[in-house]
Structure 1
Amino acid sequence: MSSPHGIKLAVHLVTTYFGELVSKVCECLLRKGTLSLGQVIRYTELSKQNVTNALLLLIQHNCVQAFTIQQPGGFGEEPKPLTQYMALHDNIIHHMRFPKFLAIVSDEYGQECTEIFEGLLQHGRLSLNKISDRYKDKHKVDVTSGENNSADNVIHENFNKLVQARFIERCPAHEPFLQPSEEDDAPKKRSKMGDVQTLEARALVAAAPMESIRFLVEADDKWSSGAPDDDDDKKFPLTEIVGEKRKQPEPEVFATNEKKEILWRVNFEEFIRRLRHKCCVSHVTTRLDSVVGIVLSAIFEATRRDETKVKMEKTVPLSLETIYEEAMKSEEGRSLTLERVRASLVQLGCELPTIGIDETYSIDVKKIISQAQAQEVESVVLKKYGREAYRIFRLLSERERLIDTDKISNTTFVEKKDALKILFQLWKDDFLHMERIGNDAQKVDVLLWKMNKRALWEHVLDDMYHAALNLKLRLVYELEQAKDILLVLKGVTVGDEVLKRRKQVGDKWKVLESSLMILDDAIMLFNAF
């Protein structure tokens, strides 16, 4: 379940991009959970047509996933299929990160790939032909001339680059049907790992295309009037995953439009994975040194194809020679020696292998993320409560058991009276958990303190969502206040006062946008990583 301010931020983003009516439908799903069309109509009090259009738009932009379940029939009636809709909170929040995603694509592949990628960000889902049409319209390509074939080749090449980099993927099925099973009669269904698997989680798994076809491109559409008509040419895959057999996918595995063209969308997982790696490298560089950051970056680069899960806890084992060779590929790592790389791996927490055994190393990514999360919260405590509170909080964050007030005071060298005051303040603000134990005869209470990490992390994340929402609202306010200044056309002669105000508005906007992007890095640390 999303946090209160996380829902408010998501609703604000939907309102900004799609309008009040669509945001009303989205807010209903975010607050009440998975609903049928009839339930959404009843709760929002909107017309069926308005709700249907809003849901279709949200599905188009990957903010809602539909799925079908079997609803038990009434007395003497057959079971009926029922379509349910669930809001995808994380996907909505990802809209705030589109500039970061664009920057990654632009840095790696340049302007032409960025144009294709930008179209998918704007429209949510597009077929190959729609991507082609959009490119030709923007560049004013004459489809009756030789320019058309040249443009097709450019689009073909750049599209394949994006797929091979896993920046884009086939869309999930529109409405997967969840087969009833024996476990459905039970209150909960458990996954292989023992965790509770909700109906929504099952729906997402059912909707996702198989890994073997997720990044498979087939020439099933004519790129131009001169495209070949031979059936074999149409089925020939333009790209395929290395090591997997060529396979014709089932028609309902992935989403298609009314023309049965395959639809494509941005692969959020790949960008979150890259941003996660960037966060880890930045953290170890700051905490340890730049060489350790270079070595960790080399490990992430070497394991890019092997890491299939965004939240993988450990990297796959790599030999020292492989890590060293990858580090040497970067300009910063060319001067490194084998011994320096080995020392950096030890700094990252890797134990030296026994002599005679293959020297392989694996990095505990989850531990690095946990350290970065703790450091982020500690910085909040330091700024808000002061250095003594920071020492107390850090002590409690390193211990998992309850600690009494006297021990906290003695360990942190803070007077008991001051320590008690700080502890009560942190407890009042939900940073700490407190327990009282005492003797009724002596009427003396001993206070025990502990940091409840899970509850605290949720509280901190909600505060960050709140701050992000305030920044977004401030951006809207500043834009509204400066609307008359921003409408001044370029090339029009205006006074110095107008130019000065225009520059002030631009500078203020840049500061707010920059602050929002930095804050979003912290949000991803607690939510996406």
Structure 2
Amino acid sequence: MALNQQHAVIFACKLVQELHGDIVECVCRQMASKGLQTLSEIIRGSSMSDAQVKQALLLLMQHNYVSAYLQRDESGQKNARPPYNQYEAHVGRILQIIRYPRFLLHTNDELGEEAERIIEILLQMGRLSLDDLISAVAGRTEQSSDQVASRVRATFMSLVQSHYIERVPPCFLPPPFVRLHENSVKGRRGAAAKAVAGVSQTFNEQAKALKSLEEMNYEKLRHRLPQDLVISMAMEGVRGPNCDIKSEADCDSKPETSSKAEEEFEVQAPKAKKQRVKAGGTGSDLPADQVGRPAGKETGGKPAASSSHHPNEDALRGNWDPTVILWRVNTEEFNRRFRHKACVDMVRDKIDEDAAGVLSAMLTATRPYETKLKEDRSAILSIEETGKTVTRLVEAGTIPSLGNDVATIVHTIAHDALELISFAGNGAGGEQYTINTGRILELVRLKQVEAVIRDRFGSSGLRIFRLLLLRGQLEQKQVTDFSMLAPKETRELLYRMLRGGFLAMQDIPRTSDRAPSRTFYTWRANYEGAGQQLAGELYAAAGRVWARLRHELDKERELLDLIEDARRTGELQFSLTDTQRQTIGRLKKISDALETSLMQLDEMIAVFNEY
């Protein structure tokens, strides 16, 4: 396990322990350190009772910290193992607990207070059906469900269409493929090593290119509104803001592919062998190995004929009732918006406000075509399409008015030495360009690394790092001459930065005995190593800030509980001593500083580990 991953697991377990207790933290630690496991393996590793592990696993799945997968039976093999469930902890999703305030601020700025309230409830509850969500909103606003139902449904539809909310993945999706590590080939020689490497490469390519039918169907239904909900809202004449209503029946952009996939699904899973999902239940909330057991498997009996069908496949095909479908917050979409914002801020710092506005419009236009969070290049976009998007965003007040025309600004960005966007050819809408998002984020990371070097080693250390980054490998005398520093100061800075992991040293012997007196020593900037080290240090620093914040709050828990009880009972006038008022002022000052530091650390964590 890499160093940054170790710090991430430790911090994630601290968050789970603080929010859900020691038992849940023990189960989470076992799953985060061991990876994909079955229920029996989790029970053995955690050394707790079956009931405790199941309850902890249910809670982790409820909050979307753990995903369940169904491993199909091994058809065509002797003594085939029946289908069984496997569980995997998502450390990255747990760590996004500290990013929840950013989620809420972004939602409030874009869609308003009602959307922020819905996102807040889903973040606290994990996953809810639409009816439960309406009831929770009614409880928050102290109104009846009938009074808020129409308003909540309209805002809910806007959030789904904006991809801020998604359906919860079912528990019968296949587990992710396991990539063979390169060390598994090092111990082999000759033809055996080539054979293993060839099989590994072929398997990985096939696993990437070919998705299972269940995954394809889930991706098709992931952000689709239930047809019954759309019909009921259309009859009421209610549409959410910026909401282009699409239902299960008309949302697919490629109906031919959809119908073909459904025909293949019918071939693989005949209706005669299906078992209906019980009303009010979902497969994603059952952390037991019996979830994926075929119909012929009975307790204490022998397995029936092998069948790879799962009883919840009807739900995957879209036959979900609106009151039964579970919804959750799509953190990937929020991170995508934050990633785009980081790119826009970097362009604003490097060029100007007009370039940042045009880049924001280009990212908005190409956002629907992004298939994953870490995209190195955006989709190709013409100047005409960029101009239309800029006009729409300016009219909406999202970006300020531009000082020059769009074509001139795009040409300025494209001809900049930083290579922020690239020319992709000519098309129907004129010249076409693509955004080098990977290059922009690399500049963001380099800026953060340079800021750390300036803080630790001063301006002289930053001068040496930039020199080596620009010139490549240099000897110590060359570094001294080019940086215009004293030899003693240069030597001390080089070895301090080497110890910190920001530089690397290469020895070049002139003789075979490698004697130090007959060896050249060259220095180079270790940018990648420094980034990986900072990624781990950021997790450790965030963990310390979080622990300090919880310590300060727990130290004054009695006073905070007193104020909370008075606020809950509506007692607006209650007396506090001068000492208590000073304590409250001090606690507020400390908590504000720590929370601000935690949010800044979280932004850097996202830049170095997720973007």
* Partners of 1:215 and 1:240 within 8 A in 2: no
Of residues 199, 206, 222, the one that matches 1:214 is: 222
Distance 1:19 1:208 in 2: 37
Cα distance per residue 1:209-255 (max 9 Å; x no partner): 5332111111457999xx99xxxxxxx93796473448789535389
Counterpart for residue 155 of structure 1: 152
Q: Any stretches of 5+ residues in structure 1 without a counterpart?
A: 229-235
Task: Using the TM superposition, give the Cα deviation of residue 137 of structure 1 relative to its aligned residue in structure 2, in angstroms.
Answer: 3.5
Task: Using the TM superposition, give the Cα deviation of residue 80 of structure 1 relative to its aligned residue in structure 2, in angstroms.
Answer: 3.4
Counterpart for residue 60 of structure 1: 62
Counterpart for residue 373 of structure 1: 445
Higher percent of residues as helix: 2
Cα distance per residue 1:129-158 (max 9 Å; x no partner): 221222333344446xxxx2x533222211
1:464 pairs with 2:461: no
Distance 2:172 2:198 in 1: 22
* Partners of 1:208 and 1:254 within 8 A in 2: no
After superposition, residues 66-85 of structure 1 pair within 5 angstroms as 66-69=68-71, 77-85=79-87
Task: Using the TM superposition, give the Cα deviation of residue 60 of structure 1 relative to its aligned residue in structure 2, in angstroms.
Answer: 1.5
Counterpart for residue 381 of structure 2: 318
Task: Using the TM superposition, give the Cα deviation of residue 310 of structure 1 relative to its aligned residue in structure 2, in angstroms.
Answer: 1.6
CA gap 1:403/1:65 in 2 versus in 1, 3 angstroms: farther
1:511 pairs with 2:511: no
Distance 1:4 1:426 in 2: 23
* Higher RCO (CA-CA < 8 Å; seq separation 6+): 2
Task: Using the TM superposition, give the Cα deviation of residue 189 of structure 1 relative to its aligned residue in structure 2, in angstroms.
Answer: 7.0
* Partners of 2:549 and 2:594 within 8 A in 1: yes
Distance 1:179 1:362 in 2: 31
Counterpart for residue 401 of structure 2: 334
CA gap 1:167/1:500 in 2 versus in 1, 3 angstroms: same
Which amino acid in 2 is paired with 1:56? L
Counterpart for residue 164 of structure 1: 161
Counterpart for residue 129 of structure 1: 131
Counterpart for residue 33 of structure 1: 35
Q: Any stretches of 5+ residues in structure 2 without a counterpart?
A: 181-194, 237-245, 266-312, 567-571
Of residues 370, 380, 389, the one that matches 1:307 is: 370
Kindly tell me the number of residue pairs found equivalent between the two proteins. Answer: 509
RMSD: 3.8
Deviates more, 1:241-250 or 1:169-178: 241-250
After superposition, residues 85-100 of structure 1 pair within 5 angstroms as 85-100=87-102
Distance 1:189 1:23 in 2: 38
Distance 1:67 1:273 in 2: 25
Task: Using the TM superposition, give the Cα deviation of residue 191 of structure 1 relative to its aligned residue in structure 2, in angstroms.
Answer: 7.2
Counterpart for residue 361 of structure 1: 433
Distance 1:238 1:194 in 2: 33
Task: Using the TM superposition, give the Cα deviation of residue 355 of structure 1 relative to its aligned residue in structure 2, in angstroms.
Answer: 9.7
Which amino acid in 2 is paired with 1:474? R
Task: Using the TM superposition, give the Cα deviation of residue 102 of structure 1 relative to its aligned residue in structure 2, in angstroms.
Answer: 1.1
After superposition, residues 29-428 of structure 1 pair within 5 angstroms as 29-69=31-71, 77-142=79-144, 148=146, 151-177=148-174, 210-219=218-227, 237=247, 241=251, 243-245=253-255, 250-251=313-314, 253=316, 261-328=324-391, 329-330=393-394, 331=397, 333-338=400-405, 339-340=408-409, 342-347=411-416, 349=419, 350=421, 358-398=430-470, 402-428=473-499
Task: Using the TM superposition, give the Cα deviation of residue 302 of structure 1 relative to its aligned residue in structure 2, in angstroms.
Answer: 2.2
Which amino acid in 1 is paired with 2:522? L
Cα distance per residue 1:369-415 (max 9 Å; x no partner): 0011011011101100111211122233346x543333333332233
Distance 1:241 1:437 in 2: 63
Distance 2:78 2:389 in 1: 67
CA gap 1:32/1:341 in 2 versus in 1, 3 angstroms: closer
Which amino acid in 2 is paired with 1:343? T
Deviates more, 1:78-87 or 1:434-443: 434-443
TM-score where L is the length of structure 1: 0.84
* Partners of 1:34 and 1:84 within 8 A in 2: yes
Distance 1:299 1:83 in 2: 42
* Partners of 2:357 and 2:400 within 8 A in 1: yes
CA gap 1:275/1:354 in 2 versus in 1, 3 angstroms: closer
Cα distance per residue 1:65-124 (max 9 Å; x no partner): 222336889x97442334322111111111211111111111111122222222211111
Task: Using the TM superposition, give the Cα deviation of residue 177 of structure 1 relative to its aligned residue in structure 2, in angstroms.
Answer: 3.9
Which amino acid in 2 is paired with 1:476? R
* Partners of 1:5 and 1:466 within 8 A in 2: yes
**Identity, % of aligned pairs?**
28
Task: Using the TM superposition, give the Cα deviation of residue 207 of structure 1 relative to its aligned residue in structure 2, in angstroms.
Answer: 5.6
Cα distance per residue 1:439-460 (max 9 Å; x no partner): 3477322212334444332211
